[in-house]
Structure 1
Amino acid sequence: MLKSLRLAISFLTIFPVYQERAESQELGRSVSYYPLVGLLLGALVAGLCYGLHRLGLTLAGDGLVVVALVVLTGGLHMDGLMDTADGLFSGRNLEQKLAIMKDSRVGAMGVMAFATVLLLKTVFLYELSMGLKLTALILAPAAGRWAMVYGIIRFPYARQEGLGGSLAQAGRCQLAVASLILLAAALWLAGPAGLGIAAFVLLGTLATTRFISKCIGGMTGDTYGATGELIEVWTILIILIGQQTAFL
């Protein structure tokens, strides 16, 4: 377990706690702990948020926290979001979409997707009370990484090669473990309402992954990252709606 967790941390963050060469099977097993890595990241940025608000930074504090989350992940998922936006909305055929997504250059759609996600995360967080803000900061990264696990396991890999293809070794067991971690976190952070949050996370994940898969015939490493970022935004929005409707 600890070996798989260390590998997941190294793969998804800037913390190099796993330095050995990982085989495909090891990468597949580590997928189970992606939501746990999300919880750890969330705890770090939640602590930062609390400290910044204690210093009197409100909107600025929320913006810095969103940027910190990008930094802690090495921009990995945001890069995937930008590449995915460029490819999916290029209006080209399947092969050209995949080629655009593989291109390291960022286009207009990628820049717009990047800016939109950063802006939405910041303004949604700003509208939350401190208690729910901290809940969202901890839970959203876990939900985003659970959505990545779902995409990895439930959809075929759309490329013939690529690091993301190594994750295809993961199976239903990894999805079950990841789901239990997310559900436990939701119940712990939000009580019974956590079940509702988890249900809406599932709905958002289904819609996102099916749309992407329909566009390019499966998922890629870039679309895993894009899915994670979009579900983070979706989770924060769910919590905001819960606050505004007195559900939370």
Structure 2
Amino acid sequence: MLTGFRLAVSFLTIIPLYKKMAKNQELARSVSYYPLVGLLLGAAAAGLCVLLQRLGLTLGADALALAALIFLTGGLHLDGLMDTADGLLSGRDRSKKLEIMKDSRVGAMGVIAFGTMLLLKLSFLYELNSSLKITALLLAPAAGRWAMVYSIVRHPYARASGGLGAVLQGAGYAQLALASMFFAAAAFWLAGWPGVLITVTAALTAGVCTALIVKSLGGMTGDTYGATGEMVETWTFLIILLGQQAGLL
């Protein structure tokens, strides 16, 4: 378990806990621990947010907490979101969309998606009270990483030539079940019974997002894994905010 967790941390963040060359099977098995990596990232962001709040910051604390998430992941998932937006919203055929997504340059749709996603996250986070802000910063990254596991296990890889994301296709339902257990347990621990609703809505959102992507591309890629994670993470911020407004949280 420790080896898989270290590998997952090294794969999803800039923290080099696993320095050896990993085998494909090890990478595939490590996806089980993606939600735990999300919790780790969220804990760092939440800790920074609390510290900055004690120094008197409000919106600035929220913005820097989100910036910490981006920094600790090397912007990996947001990069996937931008590439996915450029491809899916290009209006081209499937092969051209995949070609656009491989281009390292960012287009207009990618910039718009990037700005919109950050604006939504910051707005939702700012509206939360102090205790739920911490809950959201912990749980949303876990939800996003769980959604990535769902994407990997449930859908085929879109590129015939393979890629880094194709290595993860060795993950199966055992990895999804373990990742789901970690995510559901975290949601219940942090939010109580409303955490069940958060888990279900995150799963539904992941299902809808991936279905739309697969319909357009014929499968998933490394970029769309990141994009799905970002969308589910943002949705989780919103669901927690709606739970606060409805008096459920």
| TM-score relative to the length of structure 2 | 0.99
The Cα offsets for residues 76-135 of structure 1, whole Å up to 9 and x where unpaired, read as 001000000000000000000000000000000000111111111101000000000000
Per-residue CA deviation, residues 120-157 of structure 1 (Å, 9 max, x unaligned), is: 11010000000000000000000000000000000000
The residue aligned with 2:231 is: 230
- Residue type at the aligned position of 1:164: G
Superposed CA deviations along residues 24-59 of structure 1, whole A, max 9, x for unmatched, are 101100000000000000011000011111111111
Query: Which secondary structure state, in structure 2, belongs to the residue aligned with residue 16 of structure 1?
Result: coil
Alignment correspondent of 2:132? 132
Supply the distance in 1 between the matched residues of 2:237 and 2:49 (Cα, whole angstroms).
Answer: 15
Note if 1:196 corresponds to 2:197: yes
Name the structure 2 match of 1:45.
45
Q: Name the CA distance, whole Å, in 2 between partners of 1:63 and 1:116.
A: 14
2:170 equivalent in structure 1: 169
Equivalent residue, structure 2, for 1:146: 146
Alignment partners' CA distance in 1, 2:181 and 2:239:
20
Question: Which residue pairs with 2:86 in the alignment?
Answer: 86
In 1, the alpha carbon distance for the partners of 2:15 and 2:155 equals 29
Aligned residue type for 2:237: I
Partner of 1:112: 112
User: Which aligned runs of 4 or more in structure 1 are off by greater than 3 angstroms?
Assistant: none
180-189 or 57-66, larger mean C-alpha shift: 57-66
Alpha-carbon deviations, 1:163-222, whole Å to 9, x = none?
000000000000000000000000000011111111111111111111111110010000
> How far apart in 1 are the matches of 2:106 and 2:159?
20
The equivalent of 2:56 in structure 1 is 56
- TM-score (normalised: structure 1): 0.99
RMSD (Å) for aligned C-alpha atoms: 0.5
Cα distance between partner residues in 2 of 1:93 and 1:211? 15
Equivalence for 1:18: 18
The residue that corresponds to 1:7 in the other structure is 7
Structure 1 CA distance for aligned equivalents of residues 226 and 43 of structure 2: 20
Distance in 2 of aligned mates of 1:57 and 1:112: 28
- Secondary structure of 2:69's counterpart equals helix
SS in structure 2 at match of 1:22: coil
Displacement of 1:60 in angstroms is 1.2
Q: Distance in 2 between matches of 1:159 and 1:111?
A: 24
- Name the count of aligned residue pairs: 248
| Matched position secondary structure for 2:156 | coil
Could you tell me which amino acid in structure 2 is paired with residue 239 of structure 1? I
Shift of 1:61: 1.1
Deviation at 1:247, TM superposition (A): 1.2
Unaligned segments of structure 2, at least 5 residues: none
Partner of 2:216: 215
The secondary structure found in structure 1 opposite 2:63 is: helix
Aligned to 1:36: 36
Letter in structure 1 aligned against 2:10: S
Shift of the alpha carbon at 1:68? 1.1
User: Which amino acid counterpart does residue 117 of structure 1 have in structure 2?
Assistant: M
Provide the rounded CA distance (Å) in 2 between the counterparts of 1:125 and 1:79.
21
**Separation of aligned partners in 2, 1:34 and 1:208:** 19
Identical counterparts, % of pairs: 65
Write the letter of the residue equivalent to 2:80. Answer: G
